Structure 1
Amino acid sequence: MESINVLKLRKSLKMTQLEFCNMFGISQPYLSEIENKKKPITEDLYNNLLSEFGELAINEFIEGINVKNSISDDTETSRLINEIKLLKEELKESYKEIGRLEGENSLLREQLNLGERKNNKSA
């Protein structure tokens, strides 16, 4: 597992420690220890960062290796990470809408079934 410069990542996102902690479910003291190199990043947090931002974006913050790719500018990296976050939020909203529509669909089917049962009793 690579060592990620979490402080640089967080600052490029223009996030406070509290915002970062809330996003990844970690405590502020633990984040501070990671940022000050007193504790290593856990595998869970590493995987969550990869999942949230993608390998390409995270590569910019891996320590001890010189990663060269098309995203060499911190501003561009931040822009891409923020774009990924927005897309994930849009996806979550889409899933909520799908759930709402499925619920409406179930209610309509139930009403249709009740109507058919009434018609069958009348006939």
Structure 2
Amino acid sequence: MKRELISLFVLLLVLYQLNAAEAVNLTGHVRYLSKDIGPRPAGSHAEAEAADYLAAQFRKYGLKTEVREFKYYSLRSDDVKTSRNVIGTIEGLSEREVVICADLDTPRDTLTST
């Protein structure tokens, strides 16, 4: 069966097990997402940029990668927002599957209003 992993930082930690040489780069991934991209409110351009980055990293590590877009109503505005889930799949030999999830978006930044 498949192990479907939906995550951000958690899957990067799993990938550490696949390629120990990348362990040093984990902090680089966290820094890029938190500092370079910054706050990622749901439906924002920054969240989309983070999803693109995560999908690229999954592909780099050889995971079967899928990006699923979905729409939702925001409580903070009248319009419909678009967000994405990034899914990385590692085929396993076991009939069991492990699903690890994490949020791609972050709370709204009250200092910058983003």
Query: TM-score, structure 1 length as denominator?
Result: 0.27
Larger radius of gyration: 1
Q: Which has the higher helix share?
A: 1
Larger RCO of the pair (alpha carbons < 8 Å, separation 6+): 2
TM-score by length of 2: 0.29
